[in-house]
Amino acid sequence: MRPGEGGGGASRRLLGVLAGSTLLQWLGGFAIAPILPLYLADHDVSVAGVGVVMSAFFLGALLSQYVAGWLAGLHGHRPVLLAGLATYAAGCAGLFVTEGVLASSALRVLQGAGAGAFEVATLTAVAVTVAPSARGRAFSAVYTGQLLGVTLGPVLGGFAGVEHMRELFLAGGAAAVLASIPVLWMLPSAGGSRGVAGTAALASTTGDRTGPVRASTEGLAAEGLAAEGMITPAAGSGRPGRPGPGRPGVTWLLTPGVVGLLLCGASGGFAAGVYETCWSLLMRREGVSVELTGLTFTLFGLPYLLFAWPAGQLADRLDRRALIVVAALLRSVALVSYPMLHSLSIIIVVGCLEAVVLAVINPAEQSLLAQEGAASGATGRAQGLFATVRTATTVLAALVSGAIFAVDHRLPFVLAGLLVVVVSLSLPVLWRDLVGSARPAQAADCS
């Protein structure tokens, strides 16, 4: 059953707003990002200065993501979505009127903070308003919006060119403002614990057999979730979801399930950072032109877009733990193989296969994260912590992988692949008490 069936279009409207707003924000952002280094170089900014300005975006995201998750849990996702988009738009407007490394870096921090807050609030909104049996497809819809922006944004930026960079700054800000309109007009304003009843009603319209999702960030009992089939009795007793000793109302977030997901985010973020720094260097080493290097990014995006919805369905119907482990191990093979391959055609084929695997990993990870965050009564904080860990490891890998590449061009990719393998092999132990399926009672219902 599709999200929203059986009880009106509230869930479809939510996903439409979130996916559409995500597309607009990422479209504007990725129209700017690929050619911003060229613009800075044309304005006599040194190579080191370009690196500072570009990395400032990730610093802003690091500073905002956990806080955004906490605020989304406290006040609801709508105000955080709007604040994130407004902050990003303000950064774009500032870049239009200022120049220089210091000013540009500060404004890139502002952009990153806004974009990071918006992403965390978007994923939190899906986690607390979509029933467990439909979350895989819902998260796939959001990731599809992101990838469309990544795919189409650089094309629009390329058409505009470096000579129209200031207009692109305005266009990026305008896209963020435009993205805020459906959020402002079409999403309910109830937030935090006040929105529990409405959230439960929305979740009940999505065809979930495990019971409604409760959005309250305080007092969400793990025992109740176990009764609804969202976690096992073993996971619902003891540490997960219970207040700490002498600290009533404070829940323990770092359960084994969440720790496993954070390790997934760290390994995935490290791989992303290696790609950020080393992919173009690897392509140049293989004699691939700049145009064909750009084509590899586009050809990576297309299979992801085509497979995103089926991958979401897999995450809703199969054991998400098994999907993540198997898909991650397959991805590690792709990571390690790239520097060993010397044919662009084979590299593109492997990249397309990796895109399909990644389309499976993302909704499965987010669905489990939503489940475990809810079990701890801290969905927003769980989303913020996951995003922060992923961004931090992306930045770390982007900073160190260039130097590692200079020593041996194979080493960054091999290290990223090995990290994914190590994390994948630890997951069966960490997740042994989790229920990986969205509908653990389905067989009984059908009998």
How many whole angstroms from its chain centre is CA 353? 20
| Model confidence pLDDT, tens digit, residues 327-362 | 999 999 999 999 999 899 999 999 999 999 999 999
Residue 193 CB partners (closer than 8 Å, separation 6+)? 215, 216, 217, 218
Question: CA angle, 126 as apex, 122 and 129 as ends, to 5°?
Answer: 130
Query: Is pLDDT of 200 > 80?
Result: no
Kindly state the average pLDDT of the residues 370-397: 88
Least confident range of 186-195, 227-236, 267-276, 394-403: 227-236
If pLDDT is split at 50, 70 and 90, which confidence band does 10 have? low
pLDDT at position 249 is: 39
Task: Select the more confidently predicted residue: 206 or 109.
Answer: 109
If pLDDT is split at 50, 70 and 90, which confidence band does 253 have? confident
* CA Rg value for the chain: 21
Q: What is the token pair recorded at 228?
A: 């609804």
Q: What's the chain's length in residues?
A: 447
The answer to whether 25 touches 147, Cβ cutoff 8 Å, is: no
By CB atoms closer than 10 A (0-12, 13-18, 19+), residue 42 is exposed
Residue 359 CB partners (closer than 8 Å, separation 6+)? 140, 143, 303, 304, 307, 308, 311
Least confident range of 44-58, 166-180, 196-210: 196-210
Q: How many CB atoms lie within 10 A of CB 285?
A: 12
- Among candidate residues 311, 307, 329, the one with its CA nearest the CA of residue 320: 311
If pLDDT is split at 50, 70 and 90, which confidence band does 239 have? very low
Tell me the CA end-to-end span of the chain in Å, nearest whole number: 19
Q: What is the DSSP string of 386-421?
A: HHHHHHHHHHHHHHHHHHHHHH-TTHHHHHHHHHHH
Q: What is the token pair recorded at 274?
A: 């290696």
- Among candidate residues 56, 154, 34, the one with its CA nearest the CA of residue 112: 56
Least confident range of 21-30, 103-112, 147-156, 318-327: 147-156
Q: State how far the alpha carbon of 226 is from the alpha carbons of 31, 85, 127, 229, 433, in Å.
A: 45, 37, 18, 5, 12
The answer to whether 20 touches 69, Cβ cutoff 8 Å, is: no
DSSP helix, strand, coil percent of the chain (3-state; round to 5): 80, 0, 20
The answer to whether 149 touches 227, Cβ cutoff 8 Å, is: no
Task: Select the more confidently predicted residue: 295 or 385.
Answer: 385
Residue type, 124: T
Residue type, 136: G
Task: Select the more confidently predicted residue: 40 or 430.
Answer: 430
If pLDDT is split at 50, 70 and 90, which confidence band does 159 have? confident
If pLDDT is split at 50, 70 and 90, which confidence band does 290 have? low
What are residue 261's phi and psi, to 5 degrees?
A: -70, -35
Task: Select the more confidently predicted residue: 148 or 229.
Answer: 148
pLDDT at position 326 is: 97
Least confident range of 99-108, 154-163, 304-313: 154-163
Q: What is the DSSP string of 101-147?
A: HHHHHHHHHHHHHHHHHHHHHHHHHHHHHS-GGGHHHHHHHHHHHHH
pLDDT at position 73 is: 83
**Which pairs count as long-range contacts for 302-307, CB under 8 Å and 24+ apart, including other chains?**
302/151, 302/352, 302/355, 303/352, 303/353, 303/355, 303/356, 303/359, 304/143, 304/147, 304/355, 304/356, 304/358, 304/359, 305/144, 305/147, 305/148, 305/151, 307/355, 307/356, 307/359, 307/360
Least confident range of 103-117, 182-196, 359-373: 182-196
Q: Is the dihedral of CA 402, 407, 408, 413 positive or negative?
A: negative
If pLDDT is split at 50, 70 and 90, which confidence band does 387 have? very high
Kindly state the average pLDDT of the residues 114-143: 89
Q: What is the DSSP string of 319-348?
A: -HHHHHHHHHHHHHHHHHHGGG---HHHHH
pLDDT at position 54 is: 82
The answer to whether 136 touches 367, Cβ cutoff 8 Å, is: yes
In the DSSP assignment, the letter for residue 43 is T
Query: Is pLDDT of 199 > 60?
Result: no
| Model confidence pLDDT, tens digit, residues 44-102 | 888 677 778 888 898 899 999 999 999 988 888 899 999 999 999 999 999 998 888 89
Taking the CA atoms of residue 81, residue 185, residue 20 and residue 63 in that order, the dihedral angle to the nearest 10 degrees is -10
Kindly state the average pLDDT of the residues 133-148: 88
pLDDT at position 76 is: 87
Least confident range of 3-7, 21-25, 137-141: 3-7
pLDDT at position 9 is: 63
Q: Which domains does the chain have, with CATH numbers?
A: 10-194 (1.20.1250.20), 256-434 (1.20.1250.20)
If pLDDT is split at 50, 70 and 90, which confidence band does 288 have? confident
pLDDT at position 50 is: 78
Q: State how far the alpha carbon of 338 is from the alpha carbons of 161, 175, 203, 407, 442, in Å.
A: 31, 36, 42, 17, 41
What is the greatest pairwise CA distance in the chain? 71
